[in-house]
Structure 1
Amino acid sequence: MTTRKRKLLGTILFLIVVSIVVLNLGFFFEKPRGDVSHDDGSVGDTPVGVWDDQEPTVARLDPALLTAVREASKDAEADGITFRVTSGWRSRAYQRKLLDEAVEKYGSPTEARRWVSTPEKSRHVVGKAIDIGPTDASYWLARYGARYGLCQVYVNEIWHYELLTVPGGTCPRMLTDGAS
C-alpha cells in the first residue's frame, strides 16, 4: 500500500470515528427525560378538582394558595363555573420533562422558556402556582381572582395563577411571558 493510500485510508477512518463521536454526543449530554407519573404531579389528560387531596398536584400545593383557590372555587360554583386543576405542584423531573418537550416543540430553549420555566425557577415545583381550566374558569379567575389574592402572572397564560397580593388587593402588572 502506498503512502498516499495509507493517508487517504487514515483520513477516512478518522472522519468515521469523528462522525460516530459527534452523533453520540447527545447520548452523553442529553438530560434524562424518563416517564413522569401521578406522583410527579402529572394529571395526564384529565384535570382534577380543587378538593382532590389524594392528587399530589393538589395536595402538595402551598396551603395558603390552596385555601385561596378553594375559596374562589366555591364562589365560582355559585356563578355556574367549575374549577379544574390542569396542573399544580410538579416534581423537578416533571418540570424538566415539560421544558424538554417545549424545546422540541418551539425549536429553542429561549422560545420554550416563554411557556415553560426551568425546574430551578418554576413556581409549580415549590407548590406556589396553579393552572386552572377550563377557559370559563380561567376567565372567571382573571376577573375576580384578586378578591382572593390570586393573580394571573403572564399575559400569554390565562390559566396560570399565583398568590401575589392580599385578598382584595391589587395584582402586580402581568409579565409578557415566562421569559420576561
Structure 2
Amino acid sequence: MTRTPPSARTPARRIRWFFVVGLTAVLAVIAAALCYELPNSSSSSLPSAASLSNALRGEHRGALGEADGAVPDGVTVLDDSIPAVAKLKPGLLKALRQAAAAAADDGVKFYVNSGWRSPAYQDQLLREAIAKYGSEAEAARWVATAATSPHVSGDAVDIGHSDATTWLSEHGAEYGLCQIYKNEPWHYELRASAIDRGCPHMYADPTQDPRMQP
C-alpha cells in the first residue's frame, strides 16, 4: 500500500482548517445580525396590548345590548331583570307566565329568544336581514320595520325551544297566546278572544299582515 508523505498532507489540512474557521465566523456574524433585527421588527410590526384593547373597544363601541332588547342565553319568561322580558305588554307577559306554569307541569320550559326591542335594535336586525336575504322584499318576510314591528311595541315574543312551541301550538289558545305567522312557529302574540274562539287564521308570513303595510 502506498502512503502519502506527511509533507503532502499538511497543506490540505491547513486549507480545511481555514475553511472551517472562516465559515464559523461568517455564521456568527449572520446570527448576530438576526438577533439584532428580530426584536426591532417585532416591536414595530406586532400590535401592543394597549392597541389591541383600543381596537376591541372601537369594534364594540355603539353596539346594541340588553338595554335595547338583546337576549342572553337561558332567559325565561320569568326573568324580570331582562328588558326584553320586562318591557313586554303586561297582558302578554301575564299570559306567558300562566302558560309557562302549566307547561312546567309537563316538563316544558319557556325560553325567550326575543321579546321587546328598541327601534334601534329593530333597525339593526332589519339591516342584517337585508344583507342575509339579498333584498328588502325577502327580508320583510322575516323582519319588520321599527315602525310596524310588534316587538318594538312589546306585543310579541319569540319562544324557544321546540318543545315549548309545540306545547303552545296545542295549548296556547287557552291562554290567548297565538302563533301569528306560518313561517315563524316561535312568534307569539296575545289574542284574548282566542280563549273562547280559538286563534285566528295565520298569515303566511309578515308581508301578508295588514299591520306591516306602510
TM-score, shorter chain, exceeding 0.5? yes
Band of TM-score, shorter chain: 0.7 to 0.9
| Higher helix fraction (1 or 2) | 2
Partner of 2:127: 100
Moved over 3 A (4+): none
Partner of 2:81: 54
TM norm structure 2: 0.66
- Which sits farther off after the overlay, 162-171 or 84-93? 162-171
Which protein is bigger by CA-based radius of gyration? 2
Q: CA–CA distance in 1 between the matches of 2:192 and 2:150?
A: 16
2:160 to 129, 133, 145: 133
Structure 2: stretches of 5+ with no match in the other structure: 1-61, 209-214
Structure 1: stretches of 5+ with no match in the other structure: 1-33
Say whether the 8 Å CA contact 1:132–1:159 is kept in structure 2. yes
Say whether the 8 Å CA contact 1:47–1:87 is kept in structure 2. no
1:102 Cα deviation from its structure 2 partner: 0.3
Q: CA–CA distance in 2 between the matches of 1:153 and 1:165?
A: 13
Partner of 2:205: 177
Letter in 1 for 2:197: G
Work out the percentage of aligned pairs sharing the same amino acid.
52
Say whether the 8 Å CA contact 1:131–1:160 is kept in structure 2. yes
Q: Which has the higher contact order (CA 8 A, sep 6+)?
A: 1
1:169 Cα deviation from its structure 2 partner: 3.1
Partner of 2:180: 153
Q: Secondary structure at the match of 1:131?
A: strand
Letter in 2 for 1:162: E
Q: CA RMSD in A?
A: 1.0
Q: Secondary structure at the match of 2:84?
A: helix
- Give the length in aligned residue pairs: 146
1:75 to 76, 85, 102: 102
